[in-house]
Amino acid sequence: MCGIVGFSGTREAAAVLIDGLRRLEYRGYDSAGIAVADGENINVAKVKGYVKNLAELTHDGADIKGTVGVGHTRWATHGAPNDINAHPHMSSDGRFAVVHNGIIENYALLRQELTKKGYKFASDTDTEVVAHLLEMYYDGDAKRAVMKTASRLEGSYSLGVICRDGRLFAMREQSPLILGLGVGENYFASDVAALVPHTKNVIYLEDGEFAELTPDSITVYDVRGRAVDKPVSRVTWDVEAAEKGGYEHFMLKEIMEQPACFKATVEPRIKDGRIEFESFELSDEELHGINRIIITACGSAGYAGQVGRYVIEELCRIPVAVELASELRYRGPIIDGHTLLIVISQSGETADTIAAMRECKQRGARTLAIVNVVGSTIAKLADHVIYTWAGPEIAVATTKGYTTQVAVLDMLAIYLADRLGLMDKERYDKLIEALHDMPGKLQRAIDLNRNIKKLAKRLCGHNDIYFIGRNLDYAVCMEGALKLKEISYIFAEAYAAGELKHGTIALIEQGSLVVTLACYEPLFEKTMSNIEEVKARGAQVLAVSLEDNRQILKKADDFILVPRTEPILNPIAEVIPLQLFAYYVAKERGCDIDKPKNLAKSVTVE
Ligand code: G6P
């Protein structure tokens, strides 16, 4: 979702800003713009569409002069995606330009107030009120105007503000914003992807803080304008990790990275054959006191949670509920000090997930976050954090983010079961060995399925595709179906195979494509019966099965094979061919794979 960048230096700012915006493109957007101060004026360029359109319009920034500036990619919330609503927005007197990520919830009232005072609005956005407020409060001191403006705003925002005279400010309230420290130049951005080409030294702003950036300094202030001493953190991602590295799409690159990401996430946490987490210190008493686990998340992170639910319940015998964050936040969740809330998020910035987490925390839940982005809001809010070490994930449709989340949940289940005294040594050791073997298995899941491209070519014409499975297979179906619909725009839905005959089977007709996941062996025969049922109604079956279980081959029309692993780890291998299937189907259909329409990578507004 919207991305913002800011630059203060001695070289021309526009090209730096446009490059920064390119690196934020993956977040999802529909228009782009920059504003650059040259000491006397603010020069603005903005367009509906892509950053490449902005680059064309400005001759790669060469037409926009000045050494201080802000840039923006907009994902429309208030007002259509067009040139006028694109950011930056200017104050009427031309003194301030503003870029904004988030939603100003009281913008309608503010707009009314400002209109009465004679301010003229050019756009339909909530953001424009900020520019006019700055003008209204300006009395010769830009910092004071920034503070007074911030005190009037309700909602979530990260804001970048430039003044005509070259002063540059960044403010944060419930929306990500990171400051980058360079040499003779400084930066800010919505995420580190835009900063890593310039610097790995960053400062994470907290809610309510704001900063002033000059070429030589960054000063962070609290809400009352007092300077705050902030620690400088070092980013571990390098710039290559956020580039395509020869692959046609980020999604394919990220699929291929999964064996390595699994290893990076799991291996450092196995010491002398035992799982150890860096930030999950629970006493035995606290651990035995947990009588319920709630997993909350959005999208694929929620589907990783679905896998986690089966595994944790099986190994730990603790009841687990998986709750959509957008629902949980408004449901007055029933929670007490015996509830462990597991919050899963790749970005750590998903607005609904943050809100659900705050709600549950307030009601006394102990919180454990499984997050990929270091220093993100969810990581900071949680009592305990287990990072997934997947590296930067750029494709909107998550792949390595999801599999590393499942990896952490599997490890957590093993760890908890062991500490609760529910697992004998032999089983524990076997699972640890299986975790060590997984990177190789995941590579095999990729290698085994070289035929998926052909399969996708043949099956890409279907308008709707059903995914069915039981138990862990069902959990994986949810992610497999989501991948397909996100990037290929085919209607795809997951159904618990046993539930089929209570409704969905009415939709099955001659030629319907039913992807049947049959890797969960305790219920294999049941799933085989479901295959019979849909075939009897004319369905075409694409089966996903363990490579050494050939029984299914007689029944299915097509098949995908998955290497055998420990059953609880199987979903991680099983989802890989489904990701590849979605990828190649989307490619056949000519879709914009890394940036699917209407979707955003990091959904920072409700
Ligand atoms: C968006 C992304 C999904 C992601 C979901 C949750 O919808 O497109 O890929 O699963 O947000 O994001 P999070 O960063 O919280 O995991």
- Ligand 1 pocket, mutate which of 300, 374, 479, 606 (most atoms under 8 A from CB): 300
pTM here is: 0.85
Distance 262 CA to ligand 1 centre (A): 19
Distance 500 CA to ligand 1 centre (A): 28
pLDDT tens digits along 5-61 = 999 999 999 999 999 999 998 887 888 999 999 988 999 999 998 999 999 999 999
The whole domain housing 270 covers 244-445
Q: Which atom of ligand 1 is nearest to the CA of 347?
A: 14
């939603």: which residue's tokens?
103
Report how far residue 201's alpha carbon sits from residue 186's, in angstroms, rounded to the nearest whole number.
10
Minimal CA–CA distance to 25: which of 346, 487, 399, 394? 394
Q: What residues are annotated to the active site?
A: 2, 601
Distance 82 CA to ligand 1 centre (A): 25
Is residue 237 domain-shared with residue 248, that is, in the same domain?
no
Q: Could you write out the three-class secondary structure of 390-417?
A: CCCCCCCCCCHHHHHHHHHHHHHHHHHH
Residue 586 in contact with residue 487, Cβ under 8 Å? yes
Is residue 66 domain-shared with residue 181, that is, in the same domain?
yes
Q: Which atom of ligand 1 is nearest to the CA of 297?
A: 15
Is residue 265 domain-shared with residue 406, that is, in the same domain?
yes
Residue 308 included in any domain: yes
Residue 564 included in any domain: yes
Residue 599 included in any domain: no
Is residue 179 domain-shared with residue 268, that is, in the same domain?
no
Is residue 189 domain-shared with residue 280, that is, in the same domain?
no
In DSSP terms, 48 is beta-bridged to 31
Is residue 156 domain-shared with residue 201, that is, in the same domain?
yes
Distance 329 CA to ligand 1 centre (A): 17
Count structural domains, the chain: 3
Is residue 470 domain-shared with residue 438, that is, in the same domain?
no
pLDDT tens digits along 380-438 = 999 999 999 999 999 999 999 999 999 999 999 999 999 999 999 999 999 999 999 99
Half-sphere exposure of 378 (CA within 13 A, CB side): 34
- Ligand 1 pocket, mutate which of 598, 601, 604 (most atoms under 8 A from CB): 601
Residue 340 included in any domain: yes
CA atoms 262, 263, 264, 265: torsion sign: positive
Whether the CB of 22 sits within 6 Å of ligand 1: no
Report how far residue 100's alpha carbon sits from residue 170's, in angstroms, rounded to the nearest whole number.
10
Is residue 440 domain-shared with residue 464, that is, in the same domain?
no
Whether the CB of 61 sits within 6 Å of ligand 1: no
pLDDT tens digits along 464-483 = 999 999 999 999 999 999 99
Is residue 292 domain-shared with residue 210, that is, in the same domain?
no
pLDDT tens digits along 260-286 = 999 999 999 999 999 999 888 888 889
Is residue 265 domain-shared with residue 383, that is, in the same domain?
yes
Residue 598 included in any domain: no
Nearest CA to ligand 1 atom 5: 299
Minimal CA–CA distance to 193: which of 394, 396, 14? 394
pLDDT exceeds cutoff 80 at 213: yes
Distance 103 CA to ligand 1 centre (A): 19
Whether the CB of 603 sits within 6 Å of ligand 1: yes
- Ligand 1 pocket, mutate which of 345, 346, 349, 406 (most atoms under 8 A from CB): 346
Is residue 351 domain-shared with residue 227, that is, in the same domain?
no
